[in-house]
Structure 1
């Protein structure tokens, strides 16, 4: 019982000491909470599709990692349109010889939401 009390006291102290600290300058910048809420739909659309068969968030699979896509393209309306078109029509050659499967059943609006979510992963 004494050990549990000591562990609880230590955990409480650690929690209390860290609650008002500012993050170090080297900590990765995370998307603002408004961005995450706004792009939650894009994440849900990706999860409901077959995207994760070929793509992962931060490591290459068959296709590029979403973070690599976000690094390669600036978050502009033109690039969002271009990448949404790639989702719908497919393509090849940009990331290697393996072609991206077309997804003609995905609407342009949904494809844009997916891309907007991916763009929030830019570091």
Structure 2
């Protein structure tokens, strides 16, 4: 019984500190795919185009994570990207990392 309790406690601790893993499912759940697609422009740019533009830039993950949460305008055209308040900082960073992996 003690071993089971210790295993559950260890799993809970690992889960609490594990970074959010992002993929297309998270992007859909956070409503990102309403304006973006992986490989084609919709309202906003294709994620592959974002990865190509920012992929080699120092600090790209943090920059994109901030844009995901706070929104932005003027970089990809006249339509602004609204802030996404339902995305936590960890989720924004995970989404940015996933987007930058789509080269």
TM-score for both structures, normalised by structure 2: 0.74
Deviation at 1:77, TM superposition (A): 6.0
Find runs of 4+ consecutive structure 1 residues off by over 3 angstroms. Answer: none
Q: Where do residues 49-68 of structure 1 align in structure 2 (5 Å cutoff)?
A: 49-68=30-49
Deviation at 1:47, TM superposition (A): 2.1
Q: 1: distance between equivalents of 2:43 and 2:86?
A: 21
**Count of residue correspondences:** 84
Contact 2:30 2:87 in 1 (8 A): no
Deviation at 1:84, TM superposition (A): 0.3
Deviation at 1:114, TM superposition (A): 0.5
* Aligned equivalent of 1:78: 59
Deviation at 1:75, TM superposition (A): 4.9
Instruction: Give unmatched runs, 5+ long, in structure 2.
Output: 1-19
Which is greater in Rg? 1
Equivalent residue for 1:46, pick from 3, 27, 38: 27
* Aligned equivalent of 1:102: 83
TM-score for both structures, normalised by structure 1: 0.63
Deviation at 1:104, TM superposition (A): 1.8
Instruction: Give the CA RMSD over aligned residues.
Output: 1.9
Change (3 A) 1:89 1:70: same
